[in-house]
Each structure stands twice: as structure tokens, then as C-alpha cells.
Structure 1
């Protein structure tokens, strides 16, 4: 085969692959809306947090909730799925831009595409949350840090600062990457850079972007850090002292598990890959920096576990592996590059097709197969309709807030013109709520089974049972009182073979001036 004919064949194969990738991302952006009857937990929660436009929330910094709410307002239920896939696409773009600076465009294209062979970038990406929002941040930081050190342009340092600041506004775990980047300057050959203003400008931009959230943290008792500490203690209490210091073992196993599709592809092509010694000899300038950025965050989390006994969560690793595909592709021997790239590309198409089919069978038919609903198979709209109907039957005023179970209440809120969420727990978890607002507007509390609901703000208010709320009763003359009525809903599941309905307990606290005097 002539070189020209081989080049034309390769171009045609890449063109077909691009068509497949475009179709893949279109399907993953659109199809879940039609197959799922409800959004995942983190999506519903994030949308409702974002509707409050706070500089922080009791679990996390605010940025991903802002963009999640905005996407939902703009595009409805399809918005969060599109947003997730845009994050994955932007990640691939950054990795491609980085890859072609060290290797050939073909290796960069394949390497960025092989990122999708890491499981985190497929099914888990459907649930847009703070981990998914970090995907392009980590990839962009890899690119910005590399360019800042190798080219030392002002725009690269500014880009580094902006991405670092936004990353800290998304989730604090980006510090696992920022710490190794900062430590890199300890190397003597990097000392001259510290005498220049550009790195310090990047640090200043990063801090300036993070500063409003830092101010919010100071004024809200460091809520997300307290929450994270509580979660870590929960993990610690469930494990022995020795187990806490070795949680990194399970973490690494989980990360390797997420790489299984990529590892299988490499195993089938192992004879076409460079050995370690040859790879080291042919390593281009700057590639060692990529390996440092790739492995050093893992070292950080291992130290946190091994030395400090921090209980690691597997999902912290989601954004850490954007370089996996590119570094894997860099092992391809130049002598067999065209052939190996073609084989890996076909393997990737096979994997993505399989992941797509299995994921959407699970979303669309999983409850009917297992006769048990997952989060994306809950009767979201039926629950919302029931909540609105109940409130409107009891109250002539609009539903201002909904409280109790954070999953159920979030589903109702995002489908009913966004009444505020009053989250079960300390009042500080819902800083947009206060006793005066509750007294004026009331609230609807919903929960499942015997779940304990803690709403301390209600304890400050006068609450009357609906049985004594007749206008002829003098007790009802307290114009600041809330009228309490309660009951239980039985809501059918999407799968008709699930005979036991969803049981939801509810209590309505209706301001006396809004209360419709209906029979209990």
C-alpha cells in the first residue's frame, strides 16, 4: 500500500470515527431525558441550591450549582445531561491540545479519545455533580501548567490562575492537584520563575476568584468543611484505626477498576507498545512533567490516608485521570503506529457502543428488569403533582418552601417553580430560610417511612392542629399561627410490577390567613 493511499485510508477512518463520536455525545446528551423518569440525586439537589444563588452551600462551594441551575432554566430536564457531556468534551479538547505539543496529532487524537475508556467518563458522567464539573478543570490545569512552565507566557499564567480559582469554587479536592503544582516550584531549576511576577499573578487571580467564597465560609462557620469532616468521621467510625490508615488501598483498587476497559485495550495490543526502557529513551521533553502531574495527586491522597488516617472516597478520583488515555497512547511504537491506532480506535468504538447500550437499558428498563427503581426511575412528576395538589387544596397562598427529605423535596421543588428547600438538619444548612419567612408563608414537609426530619425553625413558631383552626374558634385568632395538617400519599411506580407503592408522609404548615378550612 502506497503512503498516499495509506494516508487517505487513515483520514477516512478518522472521519468515520468523528461521526461516531458526534453521534455518541448526541445520544448521551439527549436520550436520558426520554428514558429516565427522574433526575439523579446530585442533579436535583444542585439545581435547587443554584436557584438560591449563594456563595456557598453546606456541602460544597457554589460554582457547579450555579451552572447546573442555569442549564436547567435554559433547557429544562435535558440541560443537565448536555452540561455533563460538554464537560467531557471540553476535557477531551484540553487533552488533545496538550497531547499534540508532545506527540503527533494522531497520538493526541487517539489519546484524548481513549479518555473515554476510563469508566468515570461514561455512565457516572450522566449525574452532573461537583466531580463531573471538575473534569475540564483538571484537564485545563494540566494544559495551563504545562504551557506556563514551558512557554512562560502571561496568558498561560492567567489561564492557570482562573482555572485554579474556579476549581476551588467547584470542589476543594482540586487541591490534590494544586498542591503538587505548588511543590514543583521547590525544584532548583524552577527557582528563577519565582523571581518573576507571573506565577504570583496566577496565585493572586486564584485567590481573588476564591475570596468571595472564603468570606462566605468565615461568616457561615466553615460549613462545607464541617460537613466533610463529619463524613470523614462517619467513615472512620465504621472502620478500625488500622483500616483508616489503609483506605488508600481500596481507593487505588477502585481507580484501577475504573480503568478496566482501557487496560483491556492495552493488553490486546501489548506487543505493539514500547517497553519501559525504550519508552524512557524516546520520552520527549516535557513528558516527565505530564507524568508528574498524573501521579502526584495520587501520592497526595495516599499520604492523607496513610499518615493522617483520612477516609478516602472512591469518587474523589473521578477527575484525576484525564491524562490516562494520552499517556497510554504515548506507548505506541512508531513502527506500528498506524496499525495500532486503528485497532485501538475500533476497540474504543466497541467499548463506547457497549457502554451506551448497557447504560440506557439500565436507565430505561432497569426497574422492570430488577423490579426495583433506581434514582433515575422514580415517579418525579407524579410526586410533584401530588405535592402541588395537596398544598393548593389546603392553602390559598403559593408554595414558598418545601422541607424534609432532601431527595423528595428537591424533586418537587425543581418541578414547581422553585420553592426554596429547607433542608432537614441545622438551620444553618438553609441560610435563605428564617422563622419570619416560615411564619409568613408556611411550608410543606415530606419524608419517607420513619426517616427523622429535623426542622428547628418550626419550633420557634405557633402551630395549631387543623381541627381547632375553625374561624369561630378563638384560638384561631392568632394571625401569626401556622395550621398543621398531615397525611400520607401512595404513589405508583413506573414499573407496574412493583406492587407496593411509594409511601410519602407529609405535613403542611399553612399560615392561618392562607388556610382553606377544608375537612381533614
Structure 2
């Protein structure tokens, strides 16, 4: 009876697949990676994450601009919600799909520079980056940026690929590449660049890196003499213009969001400390990728058939390092000069090309020992990330003593509120919900009717609501008191105008015994105020 294959034998089989069928190997690994993270979220994230609830609240309204961030992730989740018939399991596909798109674009760029087997390996270190694993299931403005940091370099490289400066001499590139870059690639570059503005404003350093490459490198100078870059600029402005106009109508409110959340340096010590601490945070979150790259660099006889990373042209190596490093350098320079603290998670989208850059710096093709170590380490890192994510969702209440958002009773809240309202109103549709985007957003996201949400009763955060009309159409207010029994501050403006309707007592979605969630609710306006106002109780 034949025994189980050894780790070395498995490595040999995988290496053979990389040599003979690199495309199939890549797609198989990518599909498995996306599937396991989707399943992990569906099975253990029993309530939608915080940012997903907020994006669904926004996405229902399809605004060109919102008070805090651009609209793309809200549009994506609302589109998935509608296409999936209201299925929340479908919503958990957003993050794995965007991570997969990032890996695909990085792989395609690697395939233009390296032999196909090495191109597939260029994506392997990315599974060791925390941002693409442990933190990725919560779809938000960070995750929606990920693909742009690989797509824009890919499209720019395609647009410049045939210029003499980029391929060494005219016509030296692979068969089928044009001598000056195709105008279609420039048009796509402008389109994707314009869409990046709708993702998050921290794509600005990436867009600036693209512009500076065109201005500072001979390949860019030659391209600027053609009409391709100017077509790209025109498409970019055309796509970004509606959002810019929408920002102007709300006094550019979202641009102040980083300032609201970040500290300002009081002196030069803090000015130096903020970017240094940011770099330290990125090193920690990218440590797994750096270890995989170190494993690929282990000495030994180079594995035959994989190709040599030193075969890449000098421009290609420069291009990848520029597109990886310059956006980060711009961010650090901004922190230093503006004295603004940088949150660690703001670095999440910047490392899509880290694996490719590391591979281009290797002195030779990976050895058999290096491949064995890198593949094994990558698998361990994925399993460790999954274990951490599953453990956090399932067991964190044991250590914290309180419920987590992953177990919040959002579905029960929606059912209870709809039942109470149906009894009170005689079956009328739910009116506008007023409250925090978390409470009111959960009630809307999990409800059958998905009513609009008036976020904390603040018009600047919910321009789709006409406050003056609520007295006629009616509204439901939801809130939770703090540990001292105080209602939230935003409720003060409604005091004296509410009709309290009671309290909803809801059990957490957890196998651990926890105090129930208590949600107070009241009506405002309409014809359903049959109890004394809150102020008169």
C-alpha cells in the first residue's frame, strides 16, 4: 500500500504544475483562497460588519457623494444586495472578489515581465499580508481600493510597453505588442483612474505616481508626444467630474474626514514619530509576505523550468519599484509635512505589487528548498489568518465579557420592529428610521422593506431625507442608552416631540450567555402617536 505523499513530493508536483500549467495553477489557488474566506465570513460573521451596514445604508440612495467617503463601496454592496435578491450571504462575496481582482491584476502585470511560472509565484507572498486575509472580510473603503493599486500599474505598463525606453529597443517586446502602446489601454487607464476617485481619496498618491512617471521618465516623455495620455486625462476628468460637482454642492465635507479622526503633531518629535510608527505598522502587517519572499530566496540549485527573475528588463524593475514605493513615499511625506497622524489601516491598499517587487529583486530562480519553504509558509499563514478570524468571531465574548458586532441581533431587531410597527399601524409600510447607522442600519438591512435611514437625525449625513416632511410621513427612532442610562446626544433635539413605544429586548446570536440587547423605540409625526410624549413621562 502506497503511503501518503511527502511534503517534498507535494512540492515537486506543485512545481511541475507551475511549469506545465501556470495559468491553471494560478486560477485554482485564487479560487480556493477566495472561497475559504467567503465561507469563513458566511459561517461565523452572523451579523453584517459595521462598515457593511453603513454602506448598505448609503447604497440604498445611490448618491454621487456622501458625508464621509466616496460612494463606490456603497454602490457595490447595494448592487450585490439587489442582484442577490436581498441575500446577505451574497454580500460577503464583495471582499473576496475585490481581493481576487487585486491578485489577478498583479499576476497579469507579473506575466508581462516574468516567465509564466514565476508570474504565478509573484502573487504567493500576498497571502501573507494581513490586509488581504484577516481584515479583508469587512468590505469597506480600504478593501475597495485594493484592485486599483494593481490595475492602474498594469494598464500603465500596457500603455507604455512598446516604447523604446520600456522594451529596450523598438520591437523587442513579445509578439503582438504595439510599438507605441495602444490607445485602448490609455482609455482604460483614464477610466480606471476616474473610478479610483470614487473608491477612496487615498488613491490620490497612486494617481500622482502615475502622473509623475509620465513627467519624469523618458518613456513618459515619448508617450506625452502622442495623444494616448491626453485621451486618458480626458476620460479621467469626464468620469471624475460628477463626483467633483457633488462634492462642491456639499462643501467638500468628506475631505475633512481624515482630520476628524487623526491627531495633529504638536512638534517635530511627533512629526517624525507619526510616519515612523506608520512604517512600523506596515512592516508588521506585511511580515508574512516578507517571510515568504525570504523563503523563496533560500540558497540552493535553481529549480529548472521556472525562469530567471534577472531576465526582466531594467525598465520593468524600475517601473514596479516606482509604482510600489512612490505612493507610500508620498503618504509619508504628507504625514511629515502636515504633521498628521496616519492610522495603520490607511496603508492597507499600498502593497499589491510587493510580491512582484520582491521576486524581481531575487538573484536567481527559487531553489527547490526555497519553493518548499515558501509554499508551506504561505499555507500556514493562510491557516493562521483563518484561525484568528474564526476565533475572534466565535470566542472573543469569552474574554471580553460582552457581545461583538459579529453576533449582534440585527435580524431579530428587524423582525421585532416590523412586528411592533405592523401592530401599531395596521400593516402600513415602515417609515423612515432615525438613529445611528448601526442600529437603524441593521433594522433596515435585515428588514423586509428596507426603509431609508436618517442617520442620527443629521441632514448633512442623510441628504435623501426631508426633515420637514417627517412630521407628515412619520418616522421611527431607535436608540440604546449607555451604561449610565443616558440616551445618545443626538436624541436631545427630538425631546418633546416623540411618542415612546417601549423597548425591544433581543438575544445575541452567540452560544455564550450574554446580557440581552435593549433597544428603545419611539414614533415621531404621522398618526400613530397614541402615548404621551417622552418628555411628559
Match of 2:78 in 1: 69
More deviation, 368-377/202-211: 368-377
| Matching residue of 2:99 | 88
Q: Which residue of 2 aligns with 1:169?
A: 198
Aligned-partner Cα distance in 1 for 2:530–2:520: 20
Offset from partner CA, 1:41-87 (integer Å, 9 cap, x none): 10011012111011111111112211111112223111222111111
Decide whether aligned partners of structure 1 residues 455 and 420 sit closer, same or farther in structure 2, where only a CA change above 3 A counts. farther
Q: Which moved more, 1:93-102 or 1:193-202?
A: 193-202
Within 2, Cα distance between the matches of 1:439 and 1:90?
A: 47
Q: Which residue in 1 is equivalent to 2:146?
A: 135
Taking the aligned partners of 2:161 and 2:17, their CA distance within structure 1 comes to 34
User: What does residue range 326-475 of structure 1 map to in structure 2 within 5 Å?
Assistant: 326-334=356-364, 336-368=366-398, 370-396=400-426, 397-416=428-447, 417-424=449-456, 426-448=458-480, 449=482, 450=486, 452-454=488-490
Moved more, 248-257 or 441-450: 441-450
1:40-439 to 2 correspondences below 5 Å: 40-75=49-84, 76-151=87-162, 152-187=181-216, 189=218, 190-232=220-262, 235-236=263-264, 242-244=269-271, 246-268=273-295, 270-272=297-299, 284-285=313-314, 286-334=316-364, 336-368=366-398, 370-396=400-426, 397-416=428-447, 417-424=449-456, 426-439=458-471
- What TM-score comes out, normalization by structure 2 length? 0.83
Match of 2:15? 10
Q: Cα distance, 1:490 vs. partner?
A: 2.9
User: What's the offset of the Cα at 1:240?
Assistant: 6.3
Aligned-pair CA distance for 1:8: 6.8
Deviation at 1:98, TM superposition (A): 0.5
Q: Which secondary structure does the structure 2 equivalent of 1:186 belong to?
A: helix
Distance in structure 1 (CA, Å) of the matches to 2:70 and 2:26: 38
3-state DSSP of counterpart to 1:221: coil
In 2, Cα distance between the equivalents of 1:343 and 1:160? 37
8 A Cα contact 2:293 2:355, kept in partner: no
- Structure 1 portions without partners, runs of 5+: 1-5, 465-482
Are the structure 2 counterparts of residues 493 and 90 from structure 1 closer, same or farther at C-alpha, using a change threshold of 3 Å?
Answer: same
CA drift at 1:113: 2.7
Give yes or no for contact 1:368–1:495 (8 Å, CA) kept in 2: no
Deviation at 1:328, TM superposition (A): 2.1
Structure 2 gaps of 5+ residues are 1-10, 163-180, 302-307
Deviation at 1:153, TM superposition (A): 1.5
> Does the 8 Å CA contact 1:92/1:113 hold for their aligned counterparts?
no
Provide closer, same or farther for how the CA distance between residues 291 and 366 of structure 1 changes in structure 2, counting only shifts above 3 A.
same
Say whether 1:495 aligns with 2:531. no
Q: CA deviation at 1:435?
A: 2.5
Q: In 1, distance between residues paired with 2:399 and 2:272?
A: 40
Does the CA-based 8 Å contact 1:394-1:517 persist in structure 2?
Answer: no
Q: In structure 2, do the counterparts of structure 1 residues 131 and 265 end up closer, same or farther at CA, with 3 Å as the change threshold?
A: same
TM-score w.r.t. the length of structure 1 is 0.85
**Aligned match of 1:509:** 524
Q: Secondary structure at the match of 1:39?
A: coil
In 2, Cα distance between equivalents of 1:509 and 1:154:
57
The equivalent residue for 1:477 is: none
Displacement of 1:310:
2.4
Cα pair 2:142 2:349 within 8 Å, conserved: yes
Instruction: Tell me the C-alpha RMSD between the 2 structures.
Output: 3.0
Aligned residue for 1:506, secondary structure, equals strand
The alpha carbon displacement at 1:289 in A equals 1.0
Asked if 1 retains the 8 angstrom alpha-carbon contact of 2:68 and 2:254, the reply is: yes
Question: Does the CA contact (< 8 Å) of 2:129 and 2:285 recur in 1?
Answer: yes
Structure 2 distance, partners of 1:183, 1:299, is 13
Which whole-Å CA distance do the structure 1 matches of 2:83 and 2:521 have between them? 31
Higher helix share: 1
Deviation digits for residues 149-194 of structure 1 (CA, Å, limit 9, x no counterpart):
2232111111111111011011111001111221223326232322
- Whether contact under 8 Å (1:394, 1:515) holds in the other structure is no
Q: 1:149/1:20 Cα in 2 relative to 1: closer, same or farther (>3 Å)?
A: closer
Determine helix, strand or coil for the equivalent of 1:454. Answer: helix
